[in-house]
Structure 1
């Protein structure tokens, strides 16, 4: 593969010499470890990525949980509860369908005006949409206008989240070493379980404090209105962060691509397909065990909704620690091999979970959800790094954003709808498990198409950031074997 970056011999450019433990030294003597002052900035970037993404996913997750619990009754009334839930999940899917627009718009802006400004804009967009959902009239008050406004605000949520992920990943990975990308990039990956934990925790607390009538009347709105307070905190964190050094250097060297979207589709097709497919199984697995499991446990098994929410809360709480652990593990063990192993486990686990759930034992259901989210962590922790390193450095924001948002269309967007339709048609869990198996096969194919991290590429690019502009990369990435 031709990366079109300047090559120099050891005689022309001797490597800096560092003693053990000195700033800039690594175990291999490479000058790619953050200096102490850079590490403080890196920790600030990690915090900004983690908190901002968590707050955006709180907004996204509180809608997802409400779709399973209340929106079918309040915005899509029907004589058949399953039909109402199906319609509610249709608006859930809108949040995924609109993500590519966010990826296209904000991905491009991230290469033009900077990562920091885009991430502030996406946070405001998602937070405002969520707050307004809490103010909406229901179908009983406004008729068909109510679900129409709900769909519009859900669309805005999806646009914001679609523009968030690529920037949040680069926010930390562009401050740190490529050899620790798995861990640092996992900050953005902790956002969904942390946001899901906060969202389900808020709904569970409200459900415990209020009667069912009170919860349906006004209680659910409180969880959405809290978004205003949370977003204010997230904005404070992000506005105090510096722009990433990579974006600054790209500006200085004049290397910003003129048409990054066109370049990705023209020169990065294989990396794009690999990155899209590798995300399918994690998205579907997450939709099953954090969203649809609420419907399955309450409507199919006839158990209280509080028990289902508690199971998801416990699993999400563990993911906050498991995801960065999996990211760090992928830095030490081959990232593709770890991803492949977890994808196979994702296809097997439904055949363990559903028999456990059929016992209607709360403890076994919790065990089944935890097992699924442990597997998801092994996929999701390394995912940000794996997706980002499929693309050449100068196209990573656009490539990662497109892969993330386009994968959502065939993964998370339709998963709850397919789960609901399969359960309504067959009345058994076997088709649900079969669907997850299919997605696991697709993800295995994506991993096989992908490549391992090319640390030399990143180190060379970083080392020459201050040099004169280099020609644009035009060749597709090669593929390394497992």
Structure 2
């Protein structure tokens, strides 16, 4: 029998707050790049291209970070399942902060030519590796400390870091732009929010170093069940279940990144909205996203997350059909309705997808398995979505193709989630993944 003690209330709360702060800082760094890619980098790093081609190239460097995320997830997942969650989360935060700070120091194309986008891509890879290690690990750390019956609530704390990081990144950009003026901001002041990363990460490390190791990992280690090759063992869950889980979560990532990133370039270049209006509108919607996550995770703990997830998947499909038509009216009030709708609907599925993925795997391979699904979904969904949307827009000069793209990917996720939930038993309160014969440790 394991001697690992159930964490006290103070430890649980401190861990939840630490994971929220850490993921907020990581997403702040990641979203700084997304905002800059939409509004600045096409001018600074691809000045010889047309506006559309420059934006497409800028979003391509954004996608590079997503391609690097699975690598980070696999590396950090391996060591998270073998060495522990806590140490890997500290390293991931350092890697992300260093990458963002150095982006703030990269010379532009006018200074060093082609080396400028090359350095940008290298640092974007560093960011992607860092965030790839953070995503699954922070969810596991909070969820595995959770009291019985509150796994969804505590797994939702790190998910709140996504909209929180977006708000802080957008406000940092907007505040710097307002204080410096558009010309100065475009010339060099855009670097300031990136350089602030080093200060924020230092503060985040102080908080993160105070948390304790996950009780689930301690139990696995005490029982001598640490997997030698956790990723290979994670595949014992079965390819059909892995594929359905991936399909179920891919739409949320795609829709979120079109909303958070592509909307900024589309709204300013094609729909005629002011940059500050859009940044504030997206930030306001992200505040709604942040505020409603605890509500939805509490609902999931009380009534079950599967019906809620399916309803949220259907709602986001419907709203994707209305989103760009509302933006295309050119009416600021209707644009705010479109943005607010995203802020209210996205969190319904986003808040529990981390727990759904984590409960697919036993504790001894949960970091590796969760990272595999989460980061693959991020690449297929979020990483490609802004670039695909820009290409569709460029080919037709209309948002219709983008709308149908989002509706199609949402329909695929809804089908995948329905099939997944029909074939996999509902997890019981306080219990993790369905126990498999190959795994003798805590599920």
TM exceeding 0.5: yes
2:323 maps to what in 1? 353
1:473 maps to what in 2? 439
Q: Between 38-47 and 205-214, report the one with greater CA deviation.
A: 205-214
Is 1:74 aligned with 2:30?
no
Please state how far the C-alpha of 1:278 moved relative to its aligned partner.
1.8
Looking at structure 2, the residues matched to 408 and 293 of structure 1 have their Cα atoms a distance apart, in angstroms, of 18
1:218 maps to what in 2? 188
Using the size of structure 1 for normalisation, the TM-score is 0.87
Given candidates 149, 174, 186, the residue that maps to 1:179 is 149
**In structure 2, do the counterparts of structure 1 residues 304 and 460 end up closer, same or farther at CA, with 3 Å as the change threshold?**
closer
2:427 maps to what in 1? 454
Please state how far the C-alpha of 1:322 moved relative to its aligned partner.
1.0
Please state how far the C-alpha of 1:471 moved relative to its aligned partner.
7.2
Is 1:426 aligned with 2:396?
yes
Is 1:122 aligned with 2:92?
yes
Aligned counterparts, 1:83-98, within 5 A: 83-98=53-68
1:25 maps to what in 2? none
Aligned counterparts, 1:298-377, within 5 A: 298-377=268-347
Looking at structure 1, the residues matched to 335 and 29 of structure 2 have their Cα atoms a distance apart, in angstroms, of 26
1:143 maps to what in 2? 113
Looking at structure 1, the residues matched to 235 and 432 of structure 2 have their Cα atoms a distance apart, in angstroms, of 25
Contact 1:336 1:452 (8 Å CA) reproduced:
no
**In structure 2, do the counterparts of structure 1 residues 67 and 461 end up closer, same or farther at CA, with 3 Å as the change threshold?**
closer
Please state how far the C-alpha of 1:460 moved relative to its aligned partner.
11
**In structure 2, do the counterparts of structure 1 residues 271 and 371 end up closer, same or farther at CA, with 3 Å as the change threshold?**
same
2:362 maps to what in 1? 392
Contact 2:26 2:165 (8 Å CA) reproduced:
yes
Contact 2:359 2:432 (8 Å CA) reproduced:
no
Q: Deviations over 1:75-110 (max 9, x none)?
A: 111341111000000000011100110111000100
Please give the root-mean-square deviation of Cα atoms over the aligned residues, in Å. 2.2
Looking at structure 1, the residues matched to 429 and 398 of structure 2 have their Cα atoms a distance apart, in angstroms, of 51
Contact 1:103 1:159 (8 Å CA) reproduced:
yes
Describe the SS at the equivalent of 1:445: helix
Contact 1:386 1:453 (8 Å CA) reproduced:
no
Looking at structure 1, the residues matched to 54 and 47 of structure 2 have their Cα atoms a distance apart, in angstroms, of 6
1:192 maps to what in 2? 162
1:156 maps to what in 2? 126
Contact 1:49 1:172 (8 Å CA) reproduced:
yes
1:16 maps to what in 2? none
Looking at structure 2, the residues matched to 161 and 40 of structure 1 have their Cα atoms a distance apart, in angstroms, of 27
Is 1:293 aligned with 2:266?
no
Contact 2:149 2:430 (8 Å CA) reproduced:
no
Q: Between 205-214 and 291-300, report the one with greater CA deviation.
A: 205-214
Please state how far the C-alpha of 1:269 moved relative to its aligned partner.
2.2
Looking at structure 1, the residues matched to 255 and 148 of structure 2 have their Cα atoms a distance apart, in angstroms, of 28
Looking at structure 2, the residues matched to 254 and 79 of structure 1 have their Cα atoms a distance apart, in angstroms, of 57
Contact 2:150 2:430 (8 Å CA) reproduced:
no
1:275 maps to what in 2? 245
1:439 maps to what in 2? 409
Using the size of structure 2 for normalisation, the TM-score is 0.94
1:30 maps to what in 2? none
Which of structure 1's runs of 4+ aligned residues deviate more than 4 A?
Answer: 459-462
1:417 maps to what in 2? 387
Looking at structure 1, the residues matched to 213 and 65 of structure 2 have their Cα atoms a distance apart, in angstroms, of 28
Q: Deviations over 1:252-308 (max 9, x none)?
A: 110111221111224332332222112211111101111100011100112211111
Gaps of 5+ in 1: 7-33, 463-469, 478-482
More helix by share: 2
Looking at structure 2, the residues matched to 185 and 255 of structure 1 have their Cα atoms a distance apart, in angstroms, of 24
Contact 2:358 2:433 (8 Å CA) reproduced:
no
